[in-house]
Amino acid sequence: MRLEELSPEVVAIIVDIEGTVSDAAFTRDVLIPYAEAHLGPWIERHAERPDVAEALEALAQAAGEPEVDVPRLIELAEFGLVERDSGPVAALCHLLWRDAYQAFELTGHVYDDAVATLQSWADDHRTLLTYSAAPAEAQRLLFAYSDAGDISGLFSGFFDRRVGAKKNADSYTAIAQALGENPGALLFISDTGGELDAAKQAGLQTCWIARDDDTREKAEASQAHPSVATFSEIELL
């Protein structure tokens, strides 16, 4: 589709990751099972490494067990993983996944159509950025070790929850201010209606990417944003 109404010219594109550039199930089907299989042994091997030790200390403090030993810390971490705890357990998982990416034991999933279109926009000198609930470093790693190779260089920045909640319009205002751009010159692409609504409220241009039937039904019912099935359908002016 041509986004005929886009004006002024889009100078920067901000993309959501899960369900937009990467499979929405990647975390559930790949990252979480990897952590379930490897977190305990990995902690045992690396408990004294400074970054791991810091995360383990935070876990012990959060559990109210500051004098706990490593076997108990492993129990706490594995329990937190099952319960999908955030905070210290999430920090440990991100350290584990970083090691796994760098050892080429994990490969980030990216859609072919997204990679091709993002590359064409980069070639057209448009600024590309991401905005995800995942930490900025985790986003960078997914692209640096993706199944399309290292495409992290396509992006000028990685925004995460530190800029604010993704369904809060103020977050998108903050991104525009950080970029020094008029919100109307920014395009936000996501598979989630609430995020798109917030971006539109902040004055950004929006595009709803609907890769599956359920998302397509939501996009069609909303009619609040232009919608496409793949990145290849987006033709910027």
The CATH number of whichever domain residue 190 belongs to comes to 3.40.50.1000
Please report, as a single letter, which amino acid is at residue 83. Answer: E
Same domain, 215 and 117: yes
Please state the rounded mean pLDDT for residues 215-219.
Answer: 94
Res 70 pLDDT > 70: yes
Please state the rounded mean pLDDT for residues 217-223.
Answer: 93
Same domain, 118 and 200: yes
Same domain, 112 and 216: yes
Res 7 pLDDT > 60: no
- H or E, element range at 89: helix 88-102
Our separate counts of H helices and E strands in the chain read 10, 6
pLDDT in tens, 80-121: 887 776 689 999 999 999 999 999 999 999 999 999 999 999
pTM for the complete prediction? Answer: 0.91
Question: CB of 229 within 8 A of CB of 209?
Answer: yes
Same domain, 158 and 176: yes
Last residue of a domain, one of 102, 131, 150: 102
Identify the residue with better confidence: 142 or 67: 142
Question: CB of 114 within 8 A of CB of 79?
Answer: no
- Quote the percentage of the chain above a pLDDT of 70: 95
Last residue of a domain, one of 87, 102, 117: 102
CA–CA separation, 9 vs 11, rounded Å?
Answer: 6
Last residue of a domain, one of 102, 129, 156: 102
Res 180 pLDDT > 60: yes
Tokens 């100078």, residue? Answer: 11
Give 8's pLDDT tier (boundaries 50, 70, 90): low
Please state the rounded mean pLDDT for residues 211-228.
Answer: 94
Range of the domain at 64: 27-102
Count of structural domains within the chain: 2
Phi and psi at residue 186, in whole multiples of 5°? -110, 140
pLDDT score recorded for residue 1? 41
Please state the rounded mean pLDDT for residues 32-43.
Answer: 96
| SS3 (DSSP) at 55 | helix
pLDDT score recorded for residue 228? 97
Res 2 pLDDT > 50: no
Q: Is 2 inside a domain boundary?
A: no
- If you average pLDDT over every residue of the chain, what do you get? 93
